[in-house]
Amino acid sequence: MKTRNIIAILAALPLVAGFIGCKSDEETGAKPAKEILIVEGGNEIVLRSGDSIMSVPITADCAWTVESFESADGGFDGMLSVQPTRGNGNGALVISTNQNRGVQPRLATITLTSDGGLKQIISLRQTSGDPTMSISERSVDFAAAPDAAKQLVIASNNGWTIDMPSGVNWVHLNKTKGSAGSETVDITVDKLNNDMARATKLNVLYGTSSAQVIVRQDGMNSANISLDVNTDQIYMEAQGGEQMLRVSSNSIWRAFVPSSAQSWLHIEPATGAGDGEIHVWCEPHHDAERDRLTLIVLVAGTQNPKQRDVLVQQSAGNEEDYHREPWEDDNHDPHLSRKH
């Protein structure tokens, strides 16, 4: 019995010594060294836009765990991998993902925690890809009489410009340049006073690439085009003269003089839009035997054109009119030409 008690006492001595040693450390104020957990390069990691694998060194004197990694904006769509998820002491994180084809960077966070409770939060950013762009509309259509602007929403990861074709002055943009991100461009067009539709192409340039936007405008309904003149006949004296022809229209119109009469009958202007006036004047007529006759032809529209004809008649010449001096003519107009 005595021998058994002595063995039990000897077996318990190391455990007592251990308890005494821990108590001694606490009484003397001894503390364990502070943990070190450092991510090389700081707490931000930047990945390229292409398929990317990056190794990030970690300096530590403790065990650590990748507590979580998650996409801050949902942009990675689950295509983000961080390995290993646990380490002890110095090591490295291997981060891999797929290519970023979007127009915006992708963001995520990685949280590392030591066994002693030290925490490091790392921001992860993957740059956007090669210059890319999305445009809300590739074809913008307007009526002949537009009532509002149309909008383009341009999203790009690069700066962009809109190149307006030379000579196109009926399309108007509130901006022709933009930077990375999403921007809205207002497009307006002038009222179209014709039944012929028109179109043009806008080139959106970004990086070394480009995209096209077609702007179309419908012509007027031909049935709605109007054209009228204040008279259907103009009479001129032999010595020449001038009159004003008044045009009423809601469209673009054109006036023509036959080539056979262009030497003595003149009009100005020969084109117009909406209501307007045409100055008509004749050269003196020297033929005493017969009158001169011709037409001024006015046309509006192209699909089903409206036409108005105005007869121009100039009386035959009187020989004695061509021997009088200008001051002998009570109706002399210095702006009219006459032969003597």
Residue 51 has φ and ψ, to the nearest 5°, of: -50, 125
Return the H-helix or E-strand segment holding 201.
strand 198-206
User: What confidence score (pLDDT) does residue 3 get?
Assistant: 45
Condensed to tens digits (0 to 9), the pLDDT of residues 16-44 reads: 333 333 343 444 444 455 788 888 877 88
pLDDT for residue 185: 97
- DSSP letters spanning 181-198: EEEEEEEEE----SSS-E
Residue 214: the pLDDT is 95
In terms of phi and psi (left: phi > 0; alpha: psi -120 to 50; beta: otherwise), the region of 117 is left
What pLDDT shows up at residue 267?
Answer: 97
Peptide bond into 146 cis (omega under 30): no
Instruction: Give me the residues of the chain with pLDDT under 50, please.
Output: 1-31, 322-323, 327, 330, 332, 334-340
- Pairing, β 306-314 against β 233-236: parallel
The number of CA neighbours under 13 Å toward the Cβ of 25 is 8
The sheet with strand 91-97 has its strands ordered as 37-39, 52-60, 91-97, 80-83
Question: Which pLDDT does position 320 carry in this prediction?
Answer: 56
Exposed/middle/buried for residue 10 (C-beta within 10 Å: 0-12, 13-18, 19+):
exposed
Short-list 152, 178, 65, CA closest to 113 = 65
Confidence (pLDDT) at 337: 42
Q: What is the model's pTM? A: 0.53
Element (H or E) spanning 15, and its range? Answer: helix 2-27
- The predicted pLDDT at position 26 comes to 44
